[in-house]
């Protein structure tokens, strides 16, 4: 049974200019101990999926529907207060994009990590002991406990933020671009830490990024997001080595490779506006293989047990 | 692009629309006042008690009659320059001027006064007789007067009352009092002594008839005939005026020295706008300029400007103003100057930090790489980014200046030659209008100060979306 | 061949206020000697804080160097004042990293592209219009007329970067500094911009300084790579060679740390450099990479600052592992 099962999730925002279809009928699941990578370019609705699961919705939400079942229970029916007190942070935790820059500058790092524990009634000394253990686990010297954020380097702050997300022993960790502000050498360190945590804590992970190469460092499975929809999903081997959807293929060939002579490719045209997504297949205006059927919305084809793709090219597959 | 979009944004919001309408009203009234009032209105009229001598003192507006059962006397000023009738005698000619009024109040007038201006004569001094004719046809000679003859060496034509008109307060005149006493005794059958009349005034008797031992107001048409006897065909009379003092006056009433408050308050419109707009414009110019110089050029100039603004920001304004009023006298321009001198630092500090931020934007660096001069970068790239904010600040500064001037005037530091709403408030307050209940003296200028301030605030609020680039980007 | 840009022992120190009275020196660029040949693309690769952007700004003379000598086309421009630099401004241009902040939000595309022409009094209004539309065509923003009237907020990141590129090309420069031109736009559009830059370079014989943290794009789009660490160039040579056989331990580690989409990644540790790059205020003595270096030789690396020497033809390294030129075998 998957730890997280999302079915037909929709999240639309209303703005002055119109309705933004940020998440449009998205389904995916994460098995226990598995890492799922949601990969997509800026403005495709990646972060909106994360905040739908965390139920951290902004005020201008127009549509929020579908089913989110976590650990066997349906979350969408849970009252907001109960979700806040028993699920958020305790069972599902999240590392936000740029979270390292939003640490409270006047509180010692350790206290910020320990805060949820103390708020939930753990004694001060016990909380401190657990925090120091956790800081050690994320590879920080324990004296970081009494340091202020400005005394820490970028990599250390990111580790503190990860420790904060783990303090309540969550079952599912959502990581939204956890290394985007870091240099490549620090990025490698953080990814190694995340791998270690996944292995040692059997943590289920939802990894959200625009960088498919970075995601390949940790993800067992992938869901490729384009204009609010999942256009292809499958296990790492298939997605990275034998992608079926033209967008995934193009995305992979756009990624510059250091260890190959193959020149990076690109997708011409601009990503669609989520206010007025293209009719039919949302990728068709930029797709090199566009043909007649693309004017209507393609179904999701199961190409194998491990791979699904939403493209008319697979029409004759079955 | 900027100008058009700002106006468009302004008219998009409710507060912007209301503010704009109010503003147009203010401008309209001000233009009317500037076109019709003399520039030295303050000195020539407002501060000159002679102008207001015939006006009732501390009279509420006429329309207050609608609010009470008792109809109070309305102040009437009647003017004549042409005789109603000319009677030719053998050696003389008599010009008769008749003033008629339909008197319907429930109380007698507060005064009767008579004014004569511009008499020319050759042979003999003209003689004046003033007759009072009541609705019951009773009449009496109220007052007689001979224009003073030539002094030694004075040559004909003799001119009198051109410079200073002759003004006779009939209700206090001795001869009038005794005439009324006679009249009361003979025609009304009521014995009153002159001492009592002097104390209580003659008007009560003149405007009523006895009824069961009481005097009752006699309503109807009264006439005052002024007969001027002239003895030469070349003799002439200029103009005559009769004032029946009332206890209500005009649209906004009068103050304790009889000034028509409506006139003073109207004059306050252009003055308030002038203070608001001049102070805010100049403050904004100085503040924005200093802020841009400080932020963009930095270095010693920056340090200097920042220190000066720190100092100015921390000096209390009031003692400085009192001090300067003491040195330069109370002058509106000194007040405006001081307001500007002490308001620019606020804008400068904010402008500086905005400029510092814009300066670090890459498009500024791009312009530098292109070889744009510093001046060009400021004019082309930095100022336009701050312009909407500067505009909003300018609008916010205007009511602040108006309120500051009102506050200073209220403290008695206003410019006496230019009446403002603040000064009207102050004179009302000083005369105890608040305690005595002369509300018409206090409320209109107070409300107008608030109204004008509100107008600017509404416009500023209406500009908010245009000014806040983040809000605008979302559109 | 004479280089177009020539830097000799260039230093750029900034004063940093730390605390109330203490002023410290941040050595952003510390003794760099480098030349860029006509018509080539040199990639300046380094992590944030390495001084690569500062070095780029020095070659544009938007900064006055603390010491050293900067030459452009054989002329010394180190100490020229702004009004003596007009000729240089016309010949050297820049493309900036942030597509959002590099275009004035109050100007439309036409005005943005007209600005360089106005500043240098080039052409009459009709001619200017022609040149602007042509530039838009060259960066493939068509229909040109329509794009000319748009404001930056109406454009996508990739389109803005093309406007940036068009602006840089307006004056037909010889030298362009491209400071992380694609790091803030989507992966799927990056190669398009870089291809375009490459194409225009070939058409106009441009010399490009490509500043980036991404050694992978540097490999594909640059002729030579210079690797910068804490204000110093630690290695430079041809792009292909550096990626194939990095010599400096920092370059080696940097290349190893770059991920590639490979399902096998998740089953192994990614190699990484220990620790973090120190601040340019606290530069380690001698070899500035020694505290993080896996080949650290005590008594040498922390005592003697290694000079940048030519170890092979056209290949320079500053490291004690390569004390003398290598044999070609």
Q: Which of A153, A236, A268 sits opposite C266 (nearest CB)?
A: A236
Section C96-112 average pLDDT:
90
Judging by beta carbons within 10 Å of its beta carbon (0-12, 13-18, 19+), is residue A316 exposed, middle or buried?
Answer: exposed
Mean pLDDT across A153-159 = 91
Judge contact between B443 and B368, C-beta under 8 A: no
Closest C-alpha among C278, C298, C299 to residue C288: C278
The contacts of residue B441 (CB under 8 Å, 6+ apart) are B58, B253, B255, B261, B424, B428, B431, B433
Give chain B's domains with CATH numbers: 2-49+260-474 (1.10.3720.10), 62-244 (no CATH)
Task: Specify the pLDDT at position B27.
Answer: 94
Select from B252, B250, B268 the least CA-distant residue to B34. Answer: B268
Cis peptide before C143 (omega within 30 of 0): yes
pLDDT recorded at residue B40: 84
Q: DSSP strand E in B369-411: where?
A: none
Backbone angles phi, psi at C213, to 5 degrees: -100, -5
- List the domains of chain C with CATH numbers: 3-259+271-288+308-317 (3.40.50.300)
Residues of chain B where predicted confidence (pLDDT) is lower than 50: 1, 470-475
Place A196 in a pLDDT band, splitting at 50, 70 and 90. very high
- On the question of pLDDT at C329 being above 70, the answer is no
What pLDDT shows up at residue A285? 93
Count how many pairs of residues, chain B against chain C, have C-beta atoms within 8 Å.
Answer: 59
User: Cis omega (within 30 of 0) on the bond before B11?
Assistant: no
Task: Give the sign of the dihedral formed by CA B34, CA B35, CA B39, CA B45.
Answer: negative
pLDDT value of residue C328: 56
What separation in angstroms does the CA of B459 have from each of A3, B391, B469? 56, 11, 17
Question: Within an 8 Å CB–CB cutoff, is residue C164 touching chain B?
Answer: yes
Per-residue pLDDT band for C38 (boundaries 50, 70, 90) equals: very high
Q: What does the angle CA A176 – CA A181 – CA A183 come to, to the nearest 5 degrees?
A: 125
- Inter-residue contact C132 to C216 (CB < 8 Å): no
Judge contact between A117 and A131, C-beta under 8 A. yes
Q: What domains can you pick out in chain A, each with its CATH number?
A: 4-91+171-187+196-268 (3.40.50.300), 103-169 (no CATH)
Give residue A215's pLDDT band: very low, low, confident or very high (50, 70, 90): very high
Q: For A21-67, what is each residue's pLDDT tens digit?
A: 999 999 999 999 999 999 998 889 999 999 999 999 999 999 999 99
Number of H helices, E strands in chain C: 10, 12
Q: Collect all residues of chain A within an 8 Å Cβ-Cβ radius of residue C276.
A: 153-155, 185-186
Give which of C211, C224, C215 is closest to C260, Cα–Cα. Answer: C215
Residue A36: strand pairing partners: A206, A221
Task: Identify the pLDDT of residue A70.
Answer: 93
Residue C225 · residue C43 · CB < 8 Å: yes
Is the confidence at residue C47, as pLDDT, over 80? Answer: yes
- The shortest C-alpha distance from B388 to chain A (Å) reads 22
pLDDT in tens, B51-77: 887 788 888 888 887 887 777 888 888
Cα separation, A230 vs A239, in Å, equals 13
Which pLDDT score, from 0 to 100, does residue B468 have?
62
* Chain A residues with CB within 8 Å of chain B CB: 15-17
pLDDT in tens, A6-17: 999 999 999 888
DSSP state of B254: B
Stated as kind and residue range, the H or E segment containing C315 is strand C315-317
CA distance B8 to chain A (A): 17
pLDDT at B460: 85
Reading phi first (left if > 0) and then psi (alpha if -120 to 50, else beta), residue C56 is in alpha
pLDDT at B186: 86
- Determine contact, residues A159/A142, Cβ cutoff 8 Å: no
Tell me the chain B residues in contact with residue C171 when contact means C-beta distances shorter than 8 Å.
370
> What is the distance between the alpha carbons of residues B415 and B93, in angstroms, rounded to a whole number?
52
Nearest-angstrom CA–CA distance, B225 and B215: 24
Q: Which chains touch C (3 or more CB pairs under 8 A)?
A: A, B
* Cβ contacts of B2 on chain C, cutoff 8 Å: 106
- Count of other CB atoms within 10 angstroms of residue B137: 6
Phi, psi (rounded to 5 degrees) for C309: -120, 155
Sheet of strand C309-312, all strands in order from the earlier edge strand to the far edge = C92-95, C175-179, C207-212, C41-45, C224-229, C232-238, C315-317, C309-312
Contacts of A183 in chain C (CB under 8 A): 47-48, 213, 277
| B332-359 vs B299-314: helix crossing angle, rounded to 10 | 130
* Per-residue pLDDT, B469: 52
Burial A20-49 (b: 16+ CB within 10 A, else e): bbbbbebbbbbeeebbbbbbbbebbbbbbb
Structure confidence by residue, pLDDT tens digits, B338-393? 889 888 998 999 999 999 999 988 899 999 898 888 888 999 899 888 888 888 88
Its pTM stands at: 0.80
Q: Please name the member of C186, C243, C265 whose beta carbon is closest to the beta carbon of A271.
A: C186
Q: Which helix (H) or strand (E) holds B208?
A: strand B208-211
- Is C269's CB within 8 Å of A192's CB? yes
Helix, strand, or coil (residue B162): coil
Nearest CA to CA, how far is C68 from chain A (Å)? 29
Q: Which residue has the higher pLDDT, B45 or A310?
A: A310
Cα(C159)–Cα(B437) distance, rounded to whole angstroms? 71
The pLDDT, as a whole number, for residue B404 is: 87
Residues of B in contact with C115 (CB under 8 A): 367, 370, 372, 380
DSSP string of C86-143, one letter each residue: HHHHHHEEEE-S-TTTSS-TTS-HHHHHHHHHHHTT-S-HHHHHHHHHHHHHHTT--S
- For residue range A91-146, what is the model confidence (pLDDT) as tens digits? 999 999 888 888 999 999 999 999 999 988 888 999 999 999 999 999 999 899 99
CA atoms of B56 and B58, how far apart (whole Å):
7
Given a contact as 3+ CB pairs under 8 Å, which chains touch A? B, C
User: Whose CA is closest to B471, among C302, A15, C301?
Assistant: A15
Nearest CA-CA distance, residue C254 and chain A, Å: 7
Of chain C, the percentage scoring pLDDT greater than 90 comes to 73
Find the DSSP H helices in B235-382.
261-292, 299-314, 317-328, 332-359, 362-370, 374-377
How far apart are alpha carbons B367 and C237 in whole angstroms? Answer: 33
- Inter-CA distances, C1 with B433, C36, C92, Å: 95, 11, 19
Give me chain C's average pLDDT, please: 91
Q: For chain B, how many residues are written?
A: 475
Model pLDDT for residues C289-316, shown as the tens digit of each residue: 999 999 999 999 999 999 999 999 889 9
Vertex C188 angle, CA C185 and C189, to 5°:
55
Residues of A in contact with C273 (CB under 8 A): 185, 188
Beta strands in B75-111 (DSSP E): 76-80, 85-88, 93-103
Q: Which residue of A has its CA nearest to C254?
A: A185
A273-297 pLDDT tens trace: 889 999 999 999 999 999 999 999 9
Phi, psi of A100 (to 5 degrees): -65, -25
Q: How far apart are CA A210 and CA A214, in angstroms?
A: 9
- Inter-chain touch C89–B370, beta carbons under 8 Å: yes
For B370, left (φ over 0), alpha (ψ -120 to 50), or beta? alpha
Give chain A as a 3 state SS string: CCCEEEEEEEEEEEECCEEEEEEEEEEEEECCCCEEEEECCCCCCHHHHHHHHHCCCCCCEEEEEEEEEECCEECCCCCHHHHHHHHECCCEEEECCCHHHHCCCCCCHHHHHHHHHHHCCCCHHHHHHHHHHHHHHCCCCHHHHHCCHHHCCHHHHHHHHHHHHHCCCCCEEEEECCCCCCCHHHHHHHHHHHHHHHHHHCCEEEEEECCHHHHCCCCCEEEEEECCEEEEEEEHHHHHHCCCCHHHHHHHHHCCCCCCCCCCCCCCCCCCCCCCCCCCCCCHHHCCCCCHHHHCCCCCEEEECCEEECCHHHCCCC
How do residues B186-239 score in pLDDT, each as one tens digit? 888 888 888 888 888 888 888 888 887 778 888 889 999 999 999 888 888 888
Rounded distance between C-alpha atoms, residue B277 and residue A250, angstroms: 61
Q: How far apart are CA C104 and CA C285, in angstroms?
A: 43
- Using left for φ > 0, alpha for ψ between -120 and 50, and beta otherwise, residue A33 falls in left
> In the Cβ-directed half-sphere of C257, how many Cα atoms lie within 13 Å?
25
Cβ atoms of B111 and B169 within 8 Å: the answer is yes
Amino acid B4: pLDDT: 61
């Amino acid at each position: 049974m998957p730890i997280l099962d999302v079915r037909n999730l929709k999240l639309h925002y209303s703005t002055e200019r119109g309705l933004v279809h940020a998440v449009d009928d998205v389904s995916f699941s994460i098995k226990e101990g598995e890492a799922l990578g949601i990969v997509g370019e800026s403005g495709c609705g990646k972060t909106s999926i994360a905040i739908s699961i965390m139920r951290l919705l902004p005020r201008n939400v127009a549509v929020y529907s579908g089913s989110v079942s976590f650990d066997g229970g349906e979350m969408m029916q849970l009252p907001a207060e109960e979700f806040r007190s028993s699920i958020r942070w305790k069972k599902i935790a999240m590392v936000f994009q740029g979270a390292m820059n939003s640490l409270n500058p006047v509180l010692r790092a350790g206290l910020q990590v320990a805060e949820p524990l103390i708020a939930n009634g753990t004694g001060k000394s016990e909380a401190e002991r657990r925090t120091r253990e956790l800081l050690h686990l994320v590879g920080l010297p324990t004296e970081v406990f009494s340091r202020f954020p400005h005394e820490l380097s970028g990599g250390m702050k990111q580790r503190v933020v990860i420790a904060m997300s783990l303090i309540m022993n969550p079952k599912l960790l959502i990581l939204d671009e956890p290394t985007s502000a870091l240099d490549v050498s620090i990025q490698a360190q953080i990814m190694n830490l995340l791998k270690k945590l996944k292995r040692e804590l059997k943590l289920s992970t939802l990894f959200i990024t625009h960088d498919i190469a970075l995601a390949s460092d940790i993800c067992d499975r992938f869901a490729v997001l384009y204009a609010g929809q999942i256009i292809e999903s499958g296990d790492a081997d298939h997605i990275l080595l034998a992608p079926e959807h033209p967008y995934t293929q193009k995305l992979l060939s756009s990624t510059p490779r250091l260890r190959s002579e193959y020149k990076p490719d690109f997708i011409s045209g601009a990503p669609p506006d989520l206010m007025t997504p293209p009719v039919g297949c949302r990728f068709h205006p930029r797709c090199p293989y566009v043909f007649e059927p693309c004017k209507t919305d393609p179904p999701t084809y199961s190409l194998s047990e491990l791979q699904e793709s939403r493209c008319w090219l697979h029409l004759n597959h079955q | 692009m900027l100008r058009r979009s700002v106006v468009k944004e302004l008219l998009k919001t409710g507060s912007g629309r209301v503010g704009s309408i109010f503003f147009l009203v203010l401008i309209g009234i001000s233009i009317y006042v500037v076109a019709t009032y003399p520039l030295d209105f303050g000195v020539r009229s407002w501060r000159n008690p002679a102008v207001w001598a015939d006006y009732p003192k501390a009279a509420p507006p006429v329309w207050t009659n609608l609010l009470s059962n008792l109809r109070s006397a309305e102040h009437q000023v009647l003017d004549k320059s042409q005789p109603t009738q000319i009677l030719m005698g053998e050696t003389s000619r008599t010009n008769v001027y008749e003033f008629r009024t339909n008197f319907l109040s429930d109380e007698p007038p507060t005064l009767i006064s008579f004014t004569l201006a511009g008499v020319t004569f050759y042979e003999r001094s003209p003689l004046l007789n003033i007759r009072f004719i009541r609705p019951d046809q009773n009449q009496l000679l109220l007052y007689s007067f001979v224009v003073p003859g030539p002094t030694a060496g004075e040559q004909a034509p003799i001119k009198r009352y051109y410079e200073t008109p002759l003004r006779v307060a009939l209700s206090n005149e001795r001869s009038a009092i005794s005439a009324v006493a006679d009249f009361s005794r003979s025609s009304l059958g009521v014995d009153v002594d002159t001492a009592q009349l002097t104390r209580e005034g003659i008007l009560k008797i003149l405007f009523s008839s006895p009824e069961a031992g009481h005097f009752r107001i006699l309503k109807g048409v009264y006439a005052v005939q002024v007969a001027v006897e002239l003895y030469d065909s070349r003799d002439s009379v200029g103009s005559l005026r009769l004032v029946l003092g009332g206890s209500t006056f005009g649209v906004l009433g009068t103050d304790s020295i009889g000034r028509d408050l409506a006139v003073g308050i109207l004059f306050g419109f252009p003055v308030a706008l002038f203070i608001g707009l001049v102070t805010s414009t100049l403050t904004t110019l100085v503040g924005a300029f200093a802020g841009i110089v400080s932020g963009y050029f930095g270095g010693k100039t920056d340090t200097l400007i920042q220190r000066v603004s720190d100092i100015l920001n921390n000096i209390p304004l009031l003692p400085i103003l009192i001090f300067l009023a003491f040195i330069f006298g109370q002058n509106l321009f000194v007040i405006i100057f001081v307001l500007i001198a002490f308001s620019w630092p606020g804008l400068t500090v904010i402008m500086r930090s905005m400029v510092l931020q814009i300066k670090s934007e890459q498009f500024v660096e791009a312009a530098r790489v292109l070889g744009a001069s510093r001046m060009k970068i400021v004019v082309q790239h930095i100022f336009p980014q701050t312009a909407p904010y500067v505009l909003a600040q300018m609008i916010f500064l205007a009511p602040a200046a108006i309120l500051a001037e009102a506050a200073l005037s209220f403290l008695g530091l206003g410019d006496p030659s230019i009446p403002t709403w603040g000064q009207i408030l102050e004179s009302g307050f000083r005369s105890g209008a608040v305690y005595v209940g002369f509300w018409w003296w206090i409320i209109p200028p107070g409300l107008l100060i608030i109204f004008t301030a509100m107008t600017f605030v509404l416009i500023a609020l209406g500009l908010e979306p245009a000014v806040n680039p983040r809000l605008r980007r979302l559109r | 061949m004479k280089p177009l840009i020539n830097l000799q022992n260039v230093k750029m120190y900034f004063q940093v206020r730390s605390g109330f009275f203490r002023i410290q020196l941040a050595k952003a660029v510390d003794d760099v000697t480098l030349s860029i040949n006509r018509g080539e693309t040199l990639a300046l690769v380094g992590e944030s804080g390495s001084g690569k952007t500062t070095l780029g700004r020095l070659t544009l003379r938007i900064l006055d160097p603390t010491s050293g000598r900067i030459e452009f086309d054989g002329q010394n421009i180190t100490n020229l004042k702004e009004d003596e630099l007009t000729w240089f401004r016309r010949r050297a241009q820049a493309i900036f990293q942030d597509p959002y902040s590099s275009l004035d939000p109050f100007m439309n595309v036409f005005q943005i592209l007209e600005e360089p022409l106005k500043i240098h009094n080039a052409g009459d209004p009709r001619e200017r219009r022609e040149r602007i539309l042509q530039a838009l065509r060259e960066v493939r923003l068509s229909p040109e007329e329509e794009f000319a009237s748009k404001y930056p907020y109406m454009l996508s990141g990739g389109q803005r970067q093309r406007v940036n590129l068009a602006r840089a090309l307006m004056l037909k420069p010889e030298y362009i500094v491209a400071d992380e031109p694609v790091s803030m736009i989507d992966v799927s559009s990056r190669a398009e911009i870089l291809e375009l830059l490459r194409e225009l370079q070939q058409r106009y014989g441009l010399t490009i300084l490509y500043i980036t943290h991404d050694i992978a794009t540097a490999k594909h789009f640059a002729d030579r790579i210079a690797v910068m660490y804490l204000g110093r160039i630690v290695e430079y040579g041809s792009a292909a060679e550096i990626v194939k056989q990095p010599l400096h331990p920092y370059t080696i580690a940097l290349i190893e740390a770059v991920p590639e989409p490979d399902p096998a990644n998740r089953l192994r540790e990614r190699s990484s450099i220990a620790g973090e790059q120190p601040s340019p205020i606290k530069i380690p003595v001698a070899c500035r990479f020694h505290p993080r270096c896996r080949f650290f030789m005590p008594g040498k690396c922390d005592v003697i600052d290694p000079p940048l020497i030519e170890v092979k033809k056209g290949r320079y390294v500053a490291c004690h592992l390569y004390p003398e030129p290598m044999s070609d075998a």
